[in-house]
Chains A and B, each alone.
Chain A
């Protein structure tokens, strides 16, 4: 069964509003989680590494003030897209860092549509 969950699975919002996406590690205390973005028919691009109890590490070109990441507990990381715009519409996927050398466990993803 699923070991990483995401909520919501899809969300539609108006331009200018903020949207929060949750990523939960269901059976593992994850000190590290990852957030990816996937545009239609494109690959997964790592946005940031979420670190429990400390600041997230963002990849080059990702605006940290726009994509706020909070990893307040060992089982929950949240991604908040602030002042969303249509170009932020994408599929957002998280994963936990329990066993990166063998497998990365992904959540089912969240489709964000900004009108």
Chain B
């Protein structure tokens, strides 16, 4: 079965600090796509960053970067210079073959002023 695990239900970080959210997944496929989505209190899902499994280089998007370890099936998200607007639920997800997205259980991040 293909699964996504986020082991940190809740995290907090001081404004301007750095925080890392963990995600592990399980699949037997060799090619797939990984994503981090953000769900703020408005509940609107927003893409944060994506990574293609065949690319070794870690994706970065402004203050957001990932540490993709394919062998370990790990895909963590690092948020640098945390801002109050980063407060949200963060979901790790991957997509393989059949266009089905599988989401993790989410990590609730709170940025403290």
Residues of A within 8 A of B (CB): 32, 34, 41-46, 49, 91, 93, 95, 97, 100-104, 106, 108-109
A42-B89 Cα distance, complex, nearest whole Å: 10
Residues of B within 8 A of A (CB): 33, 35, 42-45, 47, 50, 91, 95, 99-106, 108
**What is the predominant secondary structure among interface residues of chain B facing chain A?**
strand
B101 contact from A41, A46, A102, A109, Cβ within 8 A: A46
Give 22 pairs: A residue, B residue, CB < 8 Å, sorted on A: A32-B99, A34-B101, A41-B106, A41-B108, A42-B105, A43-B104, A43-B105, A43-B106, A44-B91, A44-B101, A46-B101, A46-B102, A93-B45, A95-B45, A100-B95, A103-B35, A103-B47, A104-B47, A106-B44, A108-B44, A109-B43, A109-B44
A97 contacts B99, C-beta separation under 8 Å: yes
A44-B33 Cα distance, complex, nearest whole Å: 17
* CB closest chain-A residue, reference B101: A104
Q: Which residues of A contact B104 (CB under 8 A)?
A: 43
Q: Which residues of A contact B105 (CB under 8 A)?
A: 42-43
A104-B101 Cα distance, complex, nearest whole Å: 9
Q: Which residues of A contact B50 (CB under 8 A)?
A: 102-103
Q: Indicate whether A43 sits within 8 Å of B43 (C-beta atoms), given known contacts A100-B95, A101-B33.
A: no
A93-B43 Cα distance, complex, nearest whole Å: 9
Q: Which of A43, A102, A108 has the most CB of B within 10 A?
A: A43
Q: Indicate whether A91 sits within 8 Å of B43 (C-beta atoms), given known contacts A42-B105, A43-B104.
A: yes
A103-B93 Cα distance, complex, nearest whole Å: 11
